[in-house]
Structure 1
Amino acid sequence: MKNAINTNVPFLVTKEISNANGFLLPHALFDKIKTVATYPIREFYLQDIPDIGGYKFKMYKNGFVNDKLTIQAQLVKQNTESYWVNITVTKSKHATNHQERICSALFEFPLENKYYKTNRTAC
């Protein structure tokens, strides 16, 4: 895509979304990135964005309480059937001034909801 649509969202790991040892719960992170994945495509839908059609999700490292993460969402592909949004979650490493990758994901959003039929009969 020529003009990729990017979104960066800060995300703080809190005690409420961590286990007893302080590690970020994977389902809490997944729920958040699933929401952020809709940001770059909102303008393409007149009504609600349909549920994801498919996804790939991979965790590389875990977040810990008080970690400041960045969720990056980018619309990477559009075809006649769906939009594809790539997600990368990173954590800043202050000592080296680099970004450490926590997880990545790829979400597919259908252009039309295949599960609903439109009744086009005149009243």
Structure 2
Amino acid sequence: MNTITHINTTFTVTKKVSNPNGFLLPNILYNRIKAAALMPVKEFYLHAIPEFTDYKFKMHKNAFLNDNLTIQTQLVKQDANGYLVNIMVTKAKKASNRHETICTALFGFPLEKYTFQQNKTAC
């Protein structure tokens, strides 16, 4: 099984996802991050991916209109309790080859547990 543990996706802040002052709306960023967190764990679930059971989300800086953001998603832990996915959103600094962190997040997904019941019929 080829497990993808690191995924990069990009998006550009547009007028549609920013407020009148040009700041990226936090709920839009959160929704993008939440969707990205599903990518590295989707192959571990046979059915729909369960809702995450734990998360941490921290904004470090604002993103502005026309900023190109990179969402870096990484599966950091697999254990008996579930999966942990680390997210970091960055944007390139114009004056250098460095990136600045916009926000970070950590999502915990539980293991899938199904209970099979037998149908008992009376004879």
TM-score (structure 2 length as normaliser) = 0.89
Q: State the alpha-carbon separation in 1 of the partners of residues 109 and 116 from structure 2.
A: 23
Q: State the alpha-carbon separation in 1 of the partners of residues 100 and 8 from structure 2.
A: 15
1:87-98 equivalences in 2 (<5 Å): 87-98=87-98
Equivalent in the alignment of 2:76:
76
Sequence identity, in percent? Answer: 54
Over the aligned positions, Cα root-mean-square deviation in angstroms equals 1.6
* SS of residue paired to 1:38: helix
The unaligned stretches of length 5 or more in structure 2 are: none
The unaligned stretches of length 5 or more in structure 1 are: none
Equivalent in the alignment of 1:7:
7
Aligned length, in residue pairs: 118
Tell me the alpha carbon deviations over residues 2-42 of structure 1, each in whole angstroms, 9 at most, x when there is no partner: x8710000011111111110100111100000000110111
Cα drift, residue 94 of structure 1: 2.7
Larger Rg: 2
After TM superposition, which residue ranges in structure 1, 4 or more long, deviate above 3 angstroms?
A: none
Contact 1:81–1:112 at 8 Å: present in 2 too?
Answer: no
1:1-123 equivalences in 2 (<5 Å): 5-112=5-112, 118-122=115-119
